[in-house]
């Protein structure tokens, strides 16, 4: 039984990077020709001083693993963006270095912010602010 598991694991490890590469190519083709929203990107952690009294629960009701929050690939969006990006929407972020990639909208920001997204990171990670980031709804 263990041997079969090791064989299966080896097969998955060989094809997983290929499958991920294929998804990336599909997403790139999907957003080709689309006009992105240009936003400011900031980061936040699941802590009371950055959220509210329930930092492990997003505005959509999603429960966060506070020890490894970034694994969820969650973003919060400003309320002006929330009009077109409902909870559960997938978005593509480009031009943000290590933060570029696909995320899911599961939180909303304070009403004072406009044209802004906030990426959930782990408590030990460094806070970041980047301007002129491309945001695509996929």
What pLDDT sits at residue 19?
52
pLDDT over threshold 60, residue 132:
yes
The C-alpha angle 137, 72, 59, rounded to 5 degrees, equals 75
How confident is residue 23, by pLDDT bands cut at 50, 70 and 90? confident
Place of tokens 């912010």: 113
What does the mean pLDDT of the chain come to? 86
The C-alpha atoms of residue 35 and residue 23 are separated, in whole angstroms, by 20
List pLDDT tens digits, range 100-130.
999 999 999 999 999 999 999 999 999 999 9
- Dump pLDDT digits (tens) for 62-91: 999 988 999 999 999 999 999 999 999 999
Secondary element (H or E) of residue 131: strand 129-137
């Amino acid at each position: 039984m263990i041997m079969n598991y090791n064989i299966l694991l080896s097969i998955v490890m060989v094809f997983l990077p290929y499958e991920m590469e294929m998804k990336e190519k599909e997403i790139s083709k999907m957003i080709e020709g689309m006009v992105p929203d240009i936003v400011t990107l900031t980061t936040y952690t699941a802590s009371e001083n950055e959220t509210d009294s329930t930092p492990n629960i997003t505005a959509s009701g999603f429960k966060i693993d506070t020890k490894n929050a970034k694994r969820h690939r969650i973003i919060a969006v400003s309320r002006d963006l929330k009009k077109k990006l409902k909870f559960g929407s997938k978005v593509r972020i480009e031009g943000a270095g290590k933060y570029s990639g696909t995320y899911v909208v599961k939180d909303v920001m304070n009403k004072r912010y406009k044209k802004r997204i906030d990426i959930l990171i782990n408590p030990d990670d460094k806070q970041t602010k980047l301007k002129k980031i491309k945001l695509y709804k996929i």
